[in-house]
Amino acid sequence: MLNKPFTELRSYVAYLRSVEFPVLRRTEHDLATLKEDEDNVSARQIAGCVLQDPLMALKLMIHLQRNRGRTQNHDITTIERAIMMLGVTPFFRRFDTIPTVEDQLASHPRALLGVLKVITRAKRAAYYARDWALLRHDIDVDEVTVAALLHEVAEILCWCFAPDLIQAAFALQKANPGMRSAIAQKTTMGISIPDLQIALVREYELPELLITLMDGEHPDNPRVRTVQLACDLARHAANGWEDPALPDDFRAISDLLRLDVANVMQRVGVPPDAPVLAIGAQDPPADSAAV
């Protein structure tokens, strides 16, 4: 556990490269259950379990990249293909014993609640991104799904390994309404989580395509925009459907999907009586770039 902030971003990166990531206790249980019938389990079944846990997905992608064979001449960018490349039996052998988030944060109940909220948000973003990618006939829906799922791993890892520091950042922001989260993080942690996210995925040598899909600096790419808008919506919706940022989210998604705002809101599960309905659900959609 980090109790004091590092002075440089690279120190955080070096530290998080050296630790063993935990996974959700449910993931550990579900993988153990699948292993009991190892001879009859498919890569798709295992992938379904891994995709419910961004930390497990990250562990798998890092392992595959660090143990890349000399004959592998292309990147593996989806969870199912990663398991197929590794093999079912080697997968279970490698991830036979895994620490859990619940054990890691047993003495930090508030941090445990915090990390579970972020993981739920990441899963929700992945669900949105997958749904929109299917609607847009994306060239590879699974890549978009993985990118959205991994988009929040820096914050998740901070909750796991620097709970006091990240809680201090949120406390500072709460005490100063209007303060941007990046400023609060730099004040208490010495770095911003978005900067850490970019540095980490490069340090872990994740496939360049996934890094690009997670990089909001490419807004003209509709696949990148799908991931970014899915993560934005999941983050804002986590505050409740009355969050003031949601109207802009819905209009941007409307433009991306070429659906009217009312259809977008229905598609993402906004309750009929939600306050956000007052934004004007009949706004016409704008044209959007194709895949």
Contact (CB, 8 A) for 157 and 94: no
How far CA 179 is from CA of 45, 174, 189, 200, 236, in Å, comes to 44, 8, 15, 25, 16
For residue 155, give the nearest of 200, 97, 124 by alpha carbon: 200
Q: Provide the pLDDT for residue 272.
A: 85
For residue 204, give the nearest of 51, 72, 63, 1 by alpha carbon: 63
Q: Provide the pLDDT for residue 190.
A: 95
Q: Provide the pLDDT for residue 183.
A: 94
Q: What are phi and psi of 102, to 5 degrees?
A: -60, -40
Q: Where are the domains of the chain?
A: 20-101, 107-279
Which pTM was predicted? 0.92
Cα–Cα distance measured from residue 115 to residue 156, given in angstroms and rounded to the nearest whole number: 6
Q: Provide the pLDDT for residue 16.
A: 95
Residue position matching structure tokens 């929040």: 152
Q: Does residue 2 come out as left (phi exceeding 0), alpha (psi in the -120 to 50 range) or beta?
A: beta
How far CA 37 is from CA of 34, 81, 86, 88, in Å, comes to 6, 20, 18, 11
Distance of CA 134 to the CA centre of its chain: 19
Q: Provide the pLDDT for residue 219.
A: 77
Q: Provide the pLDDT for residue 199.
A: 95
Fold annotation for 107-279:
Hypothetical protein af1432 (1.10.3210)
Collect all residues with Cβ–Cβ distance below 8 Å to 90 and sequence separation of at least 6: none
Instruction: Please give the structure tokens belonging to residue 238.
Output: 């986590």
DSSP helix/strand/coil, 114: helix
| pLDDT averaged per 10 residues in sequence order, the chain, 291 residues | 92 94 96 95 96 97 85 85 94 94 96 97 98 97 98 97 95 91 94 95 94 86 96 95 92 96 93 69 45 42
How far CA 209 is from CA of 143, 287, 290, in Å, comes to 8, 26, 18
Q: What is the per-residue burial (b if ≥16 Cβ within 10 Å, else e) of 33-44? A: ebbeeeeebebe
